[in-house]
């Protein structure tokens, strides 16, 4: 296997996980800074490209929160992979940004004060955070449904081989990335060998009881387009994936969700470097669908970063656009459900990514 | 004008209604109905459209349906196979006429 002789394999190695790219931070490129990303988007000559104005035209007076449903915790940017489209700029070199125990405990304390039904743990590869299992245990103890946003390949590392069973025993939903049910597009986005490892990991999850219709062992696949195009019909694709994965690999899953790629971080860099940025943003703004606004995830989600800051969604988090509550930013230690519910959600041009076509969210299409 | 085909013309397709609104309306309604999910999936129809686009060699259609096939979840291998279907039928359509040629040769020759 991978870690014979010692119990550790360097995350930066191809053994630990496929690599399609390197982090913007490690390359010290200007676009690593959220401000530079926002400036690049704002500088585009984009007809109909003012998000708040488009909401107003559709008779929607800004984005207001709904009752809190999803408590999303981004435990850090460390990852065993470096996918080309990553909006987090995650990778094996991102060792500095990791949630510590005190912040994890503050998350649990804040969770206990909210009615959120679901705790959504993401990263990076969230399993790499030393407090991942603590967060899962405590969230389950508080009676919340827990989601592990899993890149699949991490499950093949020996130190995580217990996870499929461990997660299954706690009823954790595994929401895992698989851009396509065939190899080509998966490896193009996530690195050579990803598809094969992903199928191996899905088999481990199936063996632990995942993907067989048991609501306590729900296996959800997430597809992001591998290129400068939008996510297709979730229902139609789910049908084809189900047939294809079962026929060719004997793999089962419970549902497929389709997300658009957000013009942030490494995907933004890829769009710009391939000359696709303007056309992609025009496509997003032209496909603005007011009907997708009602189900936007930012309306019933809060997103906590590794250092305890609170954001309206994971994308705003990566663009350093924190939630504004009574005119100021808040940390999870100071979280107050009532004042948080009265805020107005922060938007910018990237928000067109979630309102295009059938809509896009961490839970898939919003319409 | 340096070229007859311009990419920016593709999104102008609906402007064809300027000369006859009724016919354009009927055409686009029909077009939309043809590509709706039916006995064939929308993805399968998009692959057929891609193949036909190559048979009729329409750059607008190739642009539109390359993108549409990707959005519907097809990948390069599947799209390439669709184009080969168009190629096989086009090539086969020429070649099968060789049977007519054979007939003439057999009739006229000794």
Is A230 close to B71, i.e. CB distance below 8 A?
yes
**Residue A33, φ and ψ in degrees, nearest 5:** -85, 130
| Residue A366 Cα, gap to closest chain B Cα (Å) | 17
A308, HSE (Cβ side, Cα atoms, 13 Å): 17
Is B73 close to A227, i.e. CB distance below 8 A?
no
B2 close contact with A: CB closer than 8 A: no
* A310-335 per-position pLDDT tens digit: 999 999 999 999 999 999 999 999 99
Nearest CB to A229 within list B41, B70, B77:
B70
Partners of residue A240 in chain B, C-beta under 8 Å: 41, 43, 73
Which of A154, A144, A84, A99 has the alpha carbon at shortest distance from A117?
Answer: A144
Residues A250-265 have a mean pLDDT of 95
pLDDT of residue A4: 47
CA distances from B77 to A185, B54, B64, B84 (A): 10, 16, 18, 11
Q: Is the pLDDT of residue A5 over 80?
A: no
| Residue A233 Cα, gap to closest chain B Cα (Å) | 7
**What CATH number should be reported for the domain whose range is B41-110?**
1.20.1290.10
Residues A228-232 have a mean pLDDT of 90
Task: Sort B100 into a burial class: Cβ within 10 Å, 0-12 / 13-18 / 19+.
Answer: exposed
Nearest CB to A184 within list B37, B67, B77:
B77
Nearest CA in chain A to B40: A236
Average per-residue pLDDT in chain A?
93
Euclidean distance between CA atoms B74 and A185, whole angstroms: 9
pLDDT of residue A2: 46
Is B73 close to A236, i.e. CB distance below 8 A?
yes
pLDDT of residue A7: 58
| Residue A232 Cα, gap to closest chain B Cα (Å) | 5
pLDDT of residue B1: 61
Task: Sort A204 into a burial class: Cβ within 10 Å, 0-12 / 13-18 / 19+.
Answer: middle
* A338-353 per-position pLDDT tens digit: 899 999 999 999 999 9
Euclidean distance between CA atoms A120 and A145, whole angstroms: 8
Beta partners for residue A98, in sequence order:
A76
A196 CB neighbour count, 10 Å cutoff: 15
Q: Is the pLDDT of residue B83 over 80?
A: yes
* A14-71 per-position pLDDT tens digit: 889 999 899 999 999 999 999 999 999 999 999 999 999 999 999 998 899 999 999 9
Nearest CB to B73 within list A184, A227, A240:
A240
| Residue B15 Cα, gap to closest chain A Cα (Å) | 17
B42 close contact with A: CB closer than 8 A: yes
Q: Is the pLDDT of residue A361 over 90?
A: no
Share above pLDDT 70 across residues of chain A, in percent, rounded to a whole number: 98
Q: Is the pLDDT of residue B18 over 80?
A: yes
Domain span(s) for CATH 1.20.1290.10 in chain B: 41-110
Beta partners for residue A309, in sequence order:
A331
Partners of residue A229 in chain B, C-beta under 8 Å: 67, 70-71
B77 close contact with A: CB closer than 8 A: yes
Is B70 close to A225, i.e. CB distance below 8 A?
yes
What chain A holds in terms of domains, given with CATH numbers, is 24-355 (3.20.20)
Partners of residue B76 in chain A, C-beta under 8 Å: 184-185
Nearest CA in chain B to A223: B73
């Amino acid at each position: 296997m991978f870690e014979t002789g010692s119990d550790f394999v360097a995350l930066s190695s191809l053994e630990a996980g496929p690599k399609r790219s390197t982090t913007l931070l490690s390359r010290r490129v200007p676009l690593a800074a959220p401000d530079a990303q926002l400036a690049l988007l704002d500088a585009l000559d984009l007809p109909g490209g003012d998000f708040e104005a488009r909401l107003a035209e559709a008779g929607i007076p800004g984005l207001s929160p709904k009752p809190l449903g999803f408590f999303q915790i981004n435990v850090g940017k460390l990852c065993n992979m470096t996918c080309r489209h990553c909006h987090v700029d995650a990778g094996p070199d991102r060792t500095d940004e990791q949630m510590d125990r005190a912040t994890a405990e503050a998350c649990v304390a804040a969770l206990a004060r909210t009615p959120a039904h679901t705790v959504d743990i993401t990263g990076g590869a969230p399993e790499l955070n030393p407090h991942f299992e603590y967060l899962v245990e405590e969230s389950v103890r508080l009676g919340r449904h827990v989601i592990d946003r899993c890149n699949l390949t991490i499950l093949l590392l020996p130190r995580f081989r217990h996870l499929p069973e461990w997660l299954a025993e706690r009823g954790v939903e595994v929401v895992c990335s698989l851009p396509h049910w065939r190899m080509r597009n998966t490896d193009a986005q996530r690195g050579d060998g990803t598809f094969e490892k992903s199928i191996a990991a899905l088999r481990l999850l199936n063996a632990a009881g995942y993907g067989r219709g048991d609501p306590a062992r729900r296996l959800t696949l997430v597809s992001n387009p591998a290129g400068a195009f939008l996510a297709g019909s979730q229902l139609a694709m789910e049908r084809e994936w189900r047939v294809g994965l079962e026929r060719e690999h004997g793999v089962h899953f419970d549902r497929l969700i389709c997300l658009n790629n957000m013009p942030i971080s490494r995907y933004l860099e890829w769009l710009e470097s391939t000359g696709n940025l303007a056309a992609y943003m025009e496509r997003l703004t032209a496909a603005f669908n007011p009907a997708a606004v009602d189900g936007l995830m930012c309306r019933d989600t809060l997103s906590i970063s590794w250092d305890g800051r609170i954001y309206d969604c994971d994308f705003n988090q990566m663009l350093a656009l924190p939630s504004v509550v009574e005119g100021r930013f808040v940390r999870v230690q100071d979280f107050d459900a009532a004042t948080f519910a009265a805020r107005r959600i922060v938007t910018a041009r990237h928000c067109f990514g979630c309102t295009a076509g059938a809509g896009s969210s961490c839970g898939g299409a919003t319409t | 004008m340096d070229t007859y085909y311009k990419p920016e013309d593709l999104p102008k397709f609906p402007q064809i209604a300027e000369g006859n609104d009724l016919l354009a309306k009927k055409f686009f309604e029909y077009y939309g109905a043809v590509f709706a999910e039916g006995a064939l999936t929308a993805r399968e129809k998009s692959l057929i459209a891609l193949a036909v686009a190559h048979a009729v060699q329409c750059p607008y259609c190739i642009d539109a349906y390359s993108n549409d096939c990707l959005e519907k979840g097809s990948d390069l291998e599947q799209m390439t196979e669709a184009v080969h279907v168009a190629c096989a039928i086009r090539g086969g359509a020429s070649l099968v006429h060789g049977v007519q040629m054979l007939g003439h040769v057999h009739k006229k020759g000794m």
